[in-house]
Amino acid sequence: GVAIVVVCIAYVGMSLPQQAYWDSDLFIYMRGHQLYPENAHASIGLGREYSRLGAHDRAIALVEDAVRRNPDDVYEPYALAEVYIAAGRKEEGRNALEYGMRVMPEYVDSETGMTSVAALFGQLGDYDRALELCSKVLVRDPHLYSGLYNCGNIQLMAEHYPAAELLLRRAVKSAP
């Protein structure tokens, strides 16, 4: 009885790290980047995952490289702003965000772009700009889940609790 329990515990203990490795997002993004090293989106995906795990220097290097290789693509500067902000490098994040808005201003006019940019401004603590974009996107589509969710979180960050609660409740009701 005791021997079987010990064997079972040893088996589970030895298999968990391996299972975590194979199931991890990091492994998937690393494999994608390995297969497609010139693909900017593969670099960004891996960079975002490194950022999520706290490896900010690796994240920034990957996403900066993607921006260098694709200076006129709108997606990369916003991803760079995201990893800079996560690393606490807010001024560089703001610069990357402003650069992305100059390179392709029509992205900010799209519903997806507007909510993404609003979230980044919120993370920068620029709640006025974030909430201005929130107002615009919710006028266009008052039931847009990403708009309700992001804008609710921005209201929460700005300590506007009643407005945050209202938007987040609406987001839950409209969730896909």
Each residue of 88-137: pLDDT tens digit? 999 999 999 999 999 888 889 998 899 999 999 999 999 999 999 999 99
**What is the pLDDT at residue 10?**
43
Q: What type of residue is 42?
A: A
Task: Give the chain's mean pLDDT.
Answer: 87
- Please count the other Cβ atoms lying within 10 Å of the Cβ belonging to residue 118: 28
Q: What band does 72 get if pLDDT is binned at 50, 70 and 90? A: confident
Does the pLDDT at position 16 exceed 50? no
Query: In angstroms, rounded to a whole number, what is the distance separating the alpha carbons of residues 42 and 33?
Result: 5
CA dihedral angle for residue 61, residue 62, residue 64, residue 70, rounded to 10 degrees: 160
Quote the strand ranges of 39-149, DSSP E: none
Rg (CA), the chain: 20
